[in-house]
Amino acid sequence: MCKGCCSKGSCALTWITKILVIIGGINWGLIGLGMFLGSVEGWNVVNMVLGFSPVLEGIVYVLVGVAAIMFIFECKCSKCEVNASVDTSVNTGGNM
């Protein structure tokens, strides 16, 4: 699935997308874990941190959703595309 975005030369948008997807995944994991452990309110970290402002909380949820969609389709910028072609040739021994 990763086509060079894990390398140091990824664009800023790719890194932001990864961070938001990780935040969303951890948050959903904690919500599920909280449910299994009997917590009525769950362990929704985004709500714990930004619950004072429903608008900010909603923005974070929308950004995480957009990041997940972007992660599925991968970055097509020139920086990521160059890294993807370099990593592919290295992983296959230079034969594409």
Q: Indicate whether 85 belongs to any domain.
A: yes
Position 76, amino acid: K
Q: Indicate whether 23 belongs to any domain.
A: yes
**Higher-confidence residue: 2 or 9?**
9
**Higher-confidence residue: 9 or 64?**
64
How far apart are the C-alpha atoms of 49 and 56, rounded to whole Å? 10
Q: Indicate whether 71 belongs to any domain.
A: yes
Which residue matches tokens 């990041």? 67
Which residue matches tokens 């957009």? 66
Q: Indicate whether 6 belongs to any domain.
A: no
Q: Indicate whether 3 belongs to any domain.
A: no
Q: For residue range 7-55, what is the model confidence (pLDDT) as tens digits?
A: 556 788 889 999 999 999 999 999 999 888 887 777 899 999 998 999 9
Q: Indicate whether 83 belongs to any domain.
A: yes
Torsional sign, CA 33, 37, 38, 41: negative
Q: Indicate whether 5 belongs to any domain.
A: no
Domain that holds residue 56: 12-89
Q: Indicate whether 35 belongs to any domain.
A: yes
- Which residues are within 8 A (CB) of 14 and not within 5 positions of it... i.e. 6 or more apart? 5, 75, 80
Domain count, the chain: 1
